[in-house]
Structures are given as structure tokens and as C-alpha cells.
Structure 1
């Protein structure tokens, strides 16, 4: 017999506006405790120094995490020009400096090379695995970390402010797997002046916006209070980037058991990933084929 999980079988999303200084895991653990939830996870790690939207999935909503991870995200960040650090952010040691400072026009011209499908090398101090070990652990041990470049889709990268010659503020909308620190590092190299991230904020991630999130102070104040449940968003919010099909009454049990079943679809292409709704609730996510949904993930009634 499997071990019974402690806590409530509660499902949905709680959006937190993460403060600087806390890890994403610490936020998830706090949310799980505050809501007395059986299960929790998050959609997309934020560095401890970063702030902004951290969407925490509870219960059945954890099954929708991959679809939020795949969604577009928006970041605002300030690049410190003239300095490179070993971590590509302000937490690290300065390893190179330059007196060169680009003009606003030079910065704007350089941004174009970072838009579209680009190749990006993650920072050495990152959670990327190399031969089964985290890159940051190898880097801390003084090893020469070599990380292969990987593709990143950048929808938009624009300059929003130039407070002084040493700093530029940028806004980037990108797909999954992007490292803002790498953008700052590579932009500094392209401009011939070095650069690293001074501060970073995730403004939105998929359907979740930092402006709608609870602050950590609010989360602590509402911990174990039934009023916290009023801030819970439905798990279906994690599926908004996928097309929806309608699940007739006769198909609910088949889909929840993991079997293909007839659905009602409008404008969904053959082979496309979609989610099936019954009376507004998610039943399954799967592949649409010739009038049927073939489930990949199924959801318990909630």
C-alpha cells in the first residue's frame, strides 16, 4: 500500500511575486505549507537574486507545468556595462573590465542579433547538467566548465531606459530555456565593453502576471487561513496556450482512464496537442486525431 500524502488534495495555481533573496524551491515549500497542500511544484526557476512572477502549481495542476514552461515569458533587466563577472550577474566576482561605453544607438543596433532563433551558451554557474553533475557545482570546484550552445527563441528584445553610461535597462520576451545572464554577457561582448546582469525581474510567464501575484509578506500573513484559497487560480489556466476541445459526457470516463475518446473540436489540426474540457473542467491533455483525443495526461475530477 502506498504512503498517504499529508495535507489537502487541493488543485490549482497560486501566483507569487517572488522577492530577491529566496530560492524558487523555498517559495514552493512555503506555499505548500501555507495551503496545507499535498503536492506543489513551480513553472520555471528564478535565480535567488531575481524577482517577479513564480507560478506555483498545486495538486493536479502540477500536470500542466510543462505547458507553462513552454510558454513565452517576459523579463525586464538592467545590464551593468564595462564589467564581466564569473557568474554573469552582480553576485559574482569581476573578472574583466573595460572603459568602453557604447552609445544608445550602438546598443539598439546590437540588440537585433539577439532576436529570433539564436544559439545561447548558458552561464557556467547554472543548473545545466554536464555528465550528470550541475555546472555550478563544477564551477565552484574550479573546473573549466564547457557548456554547449542551445537554441533559444527570442520574440522581442528592446531597450527601455539608459539611466547612465554604465547601465542599460532591457525588456525581453522569449521562449523556454533562456538565460538572461547569457544575454547580458553576450551583449557586452558584442559591444566590446563586457556586461553582466545587475537586477532581473520576470514580469509575466504565459498567462500569469507578477502584478496579479501575492507578495511573500501577503503569503505569510494568509498562511493556513481559508482566505488564501480565494487567491487560487484554476488548473485550467495552465492550459490556455493549448487549443480546447469539448468532451461529451460519454467520453469522460474513457479519457480519465487514459483511453482515446471522441471529442468535439473546432479548428484543431490533426496531430495537434489539445486539452479536453467537460463542464469547464480539464479532463485530459493529448493528441487530436480524426475526432478523437489520445490522452497523454489525465486529470482527476476537481
Structure 2
């Protein structure tokens, strides 16, 4: 007896998942793709399995807008346990160094300005960064010594929320490519001790925050899952919007540039999205007063 293959469908939109603990981002995408029966799915910004919180998942045509969301600001709330450094910089690894030093709240506050703005950060050995074509975490798990180069990251804000002896809770607003685990490791070393992340939750990614988040349990129980989807345009709300006329829509959908009219029309934009009646039509740029589509949304 054979089971009939489930028919995939063309469904498009964003689902802001409140990712549960101990689930990989890839597993989350696979789960939602199955629940919606979607032909295409992807996520905007990996979350570690031990992290929870905002994981924007794109279905169908929304996958074309993933880069716009990934480039957005991210906000994390996390807890650092002082006195122990681990091989993974979180609770998954083994303790690799210990210290009896416990920083005070005043010492932590004094150190935070040194970790804001543009800083150099060395990613954790257990990260998804590729080294000679291999993921760093695969090499590290195989016992190889992984040496990653420091790279510039931008941390917009870093504040102490709570401090209780061995544990401190902080909130960080940053750009993509910033590792919370590396920040915890480096901050602890700066304070003359060791530390690792014991709690990590992402509360915002680009235009998406907790107010729009849906739990997996809610999604599984829903009788009309499509009603929980946000439109494709929801992922583009932080980019400049170009509103097209019906004639311009037809041209853009065929990949052709269009001249923008009106006194307020932009002359040049590195990134923008074109719309018609609030519906996303294309991603592109503006050059010499012309909108040039780069990715058409159907």
C-alpha cells in the first residue's frame, strides 16, 4: 500500500515564527514548509538550536525578499554565566576555562561602551562560517583546530538589564553577522574572567518583532494557517517604496525599467521596492530617476 504524495502549492507570504528551544533553523523551515504544503521556503537569519525567538520564514515569492530582512537590525536578549568559558561559548560545549572572578554591575556597565559601535569580533569556532568550503562547526566537531579571522561588526546598543552574582542579563541591538556568543566571551575576558551564554532569545529582525510572532503550537492547531501569513510586502517595509501606475506595473513585470514621474520622485536609490495597491511587484534600484527591477515578484 502506497501513500499518495502530498501536493505542493504556490503559497506566498511571511510567517514570523517564535522558534522553540532545541530546534535548528533548517528544521523550522522544513516544518513550516510541510504545514503549509509550500513549494518554496527559506528563513531570514539563522538562530542557534539553543536559542529561541524571532525566526522570519518566507514562503513562495517572499523568498525573493529574504536579503532585505536579513540586512535589517536584530535585537537579542541573553544571559551570561560568569566564571566559565566553554568550547562552544554556550551551554552545549564543555567547560574549557574557569575563573573565580565575578564582575560587579558597575564593572560591567563601565565595559559596555567598548563593545558598542563598530568593533572587531572573532566568530566562535562553532559557527556556520565556511572554512575552505566546510562549515566551521563541522570542522570543530571533528576535532580540528578552527581559527577564524576577526571581522568588523556593528553593535548599535548594548545594555545591562539585570545582574545577580553569577548571571547577568543584557540586551543587544546589532547588525547582521554579530555573534552574541562571541560578545559574551570577549566581554568576560575584558572583565578579567570567563563567561558563556546560558540563555538567548531574539526579539526582533528587521521589520519583524514579537508582536507578530506565532508559536509552533498555535500554527499546528490553526484551522486556517494561511490567515496567519503576512504579505510579501511585510518584509520590505523598511525599504523605500516606489508606487507604480498600472502601465508601469506591466513594464516592470516584464523586467523593464520605468521612468518615475512627479516632483517627489527619487533620483537615485541603492535599494527600493515597487508596489501597486500595496502589493509588492519587484525589488530593484533607482538610477537617474528610473526604477530598474532586479527581482520581479509574481
- TM-score normalised by length of structure 1: 0.93
- TM-score normalised by length of structure 2: 0.95
Paired residue for 1:248, among 232, 245, 270? Answer: 245
Cα distance in 2 for residues equivalent to 1:267 and 1:77? 43
Shift of 1:192: 0.8
1:294 corresponds in structure 2 to 292
Cα distance in 2 for residues equivalent to 1:8 and 1:20? 29
Cα distance in 2 for residues equivalent to 1:268 and 1:149? 38
Cα distance in 2 for residues equivalent to 1:19 and 1:269? 44
Q: Kindly tell me: are residues 193 and 63 of structure 1, through their superposed partners in 2, closer, same or farther at Cα, counting changes over 3 Å? A: same
> Is 1:195 equivalent to 2:192 in the alignment?
no
The 3-state SS of whatever aligns with 2:152 is: strand
Contact 2:267 2:288 in 1 (8 A): no
1:32 corresponds in structure 2 to 33
Cα distance in 2 for residues equivalent to 1:102 and 1:273? 44
Q: Kindly tell me: are residues 268 and 168 of structure 1, through their superposed partners in 2, closer, same or farther at Cα, counting changes over 3 Å? A: farther
2:111 corresponds in structure 1 to 110
Shift of 1:126: 0.7
Aligned length: 292
Shift of 1:171: 0.1
CA deviation digits over 1:44-87, x for unaligned, max 9?
01000000011110100000100110000100000011110000
Q: Kindly tell me: are residues 161 and 264 of structure 1, through their superposed partners in 2, closer, same or farther at Cα, counting changes over 3 Å? A: farther
Cα distance in 2 for residues equivalent to 1:258 and 1:105? 57
2:3 corresponds in structure 1 to none
Q: Kindly tell me: are residues 143 and 289 of structure 1, through their superposed partners in 2, closer, same or farther at Cα, counting changes over 3 Å? A: same
1:183 corresponds in structure 2 to 183
Residue pairs, 1:268-279, within 5 angstroms: 268-279=266-277
Contact 2:19 2:55 in 1 (8 A): yes
Cα distance in 2 for residues equivalent to 1:167 and 1:215? 28
Cα distance in 2 for residues equivalent to 1:242 and 1:293? 14
Q: Kindly tell me: are residues 192 and 219 of structure 1, through their superposed partners in 2, closer, same or farther at Cα, counting changes over 3 Å? A: same
Cα distance in 2 for residues equivalent to 1:267 and 1:200? 43
Contact 1:263 1:276 in 2 (8 A): no
1:258 corresponds in structure 2 to 255
Shift of 1:123: 0.4
Q: Kindly tell me: are residues 264 and 91 of structure 1, through their superposed partners in 2, closer, same or farther at Cα, counting changes over 3 Å? A: farther
Shift of 1:290: 2.3
Shift of 1:178: 1.2
> Is 1:165 equivalent to 2:138 in the alignment?
no
Cα distance in 2 for residues equivalent to 1:78 and 1:18? 18
CA deviation digits over 1:22-57, x for unaligned, max 9?
111111111111111111111001000000011110
Cα distance in 2 for residues equivalent to 1:23 and 1:32? 14
> Is 1:84 equivalent to 2:81 in the alignment?
no
CA deviation digits over 1:9-29, x for unaligned, max 9?
111101111110111111111
> Is 1:205 equivalent to 2:202 in the alignment?
no
Shift of 1:211: 3.7
Structure 1 unaligned regions, length at least 5: none
